[in-house]
Amino acid sequence: MKSIIMLLSGAIFCSAVFPRQDDELEKSIARGKGIYAENCITCHMGAGEGVPEVFPPLAKADYLTKTPEKAIHAIKFGLQGKIIVNGVAFDNQMPSPGLDNDEIADVMNYISNSWGNSSEKKIVTEKMVEAIKEK
């Protein structure tokens, strides 16, 4: 009985002291929602639907799921030139919104887990964004 109580106490302590990735992801998504509203919503719209033939959708966007590094690069450095999203070509310019690496991670986590997108609980971190270099 003592060992069960000790084991349960240890589990409760560890869950309180060491935050779970799910908790961190949820916090990042919440921060990213605000960043999206301030920087991205004008072009990509409130539900991530974009503007047909002008600004690509982020909702259910294969560009995000298949090439998240390219999406991070676009947010970090801006984007110029043709891209294909869900089989549709877009050739417009996206200026860099001037976000810090942690803000880019947060907005990526928000976008990757909204409007039918799923990161499958994989979190984009500040270090991952930092690793993306301008070409």
Domain residues of the chain, as ranges?
Answer: 20-131
The enclosing H or E element of 84 equals: strand 79-85
Quickly count: other Cβ atoms within 10 Å of residue 9's Cβ.
10
Point out which residues pair with 51 in neighbouring strands: 55
Domain 20-131 has CATH 3.40.50.300: no
Integer Cα distance of 77 and 97 in angstroms? 8
Q: Which residue has tokens 């639907």? A: 49
Please provide the average confidence, as pLDDT, over all residues in the chain: 89
Average pLDDT over residues 98-120: 96
Amino acid at 95: P
Phi, psi of 34 (to 5 degrees): -65, -40
Judged by average pLDDT, the poorest of 13-22, 107-116, 126-135 is 13-22
pLDDT digits (tens, 9 = 90+) for 19-77: 566 899 999 999 999 999 999 999 999 999 999 999 999 999 999 989 999 999 999 99
Amino acid 113: pLDDT: 97
Q: Quote the pTM value.
A: 0.82
Mean pLDDT of 85-99: 95
Does residue 65 contact residue 51 with C-beta atoms inside 8 Å? no
pLDDT at 135: 78
- Mapping DSSP to helix (H, G, I), strand (E, B) and coil, where does residue 132 land? coil
Q: How far apart are CA 23 and CA 69, in angstroms?
A: 23
6 pLDDT band, cuts 50/70/90, is low
Mean pLDDT confidence for 100-119: 97
Q: Which residue's entry shows tokens 């970090």?
A: 76
pLDDT band at 78 (very low <50, low <70, confident <90, very high): very high
Burial string for 48-58 (b: 16+ CB within 10 Å, else e) reads: bebeeeebbbb
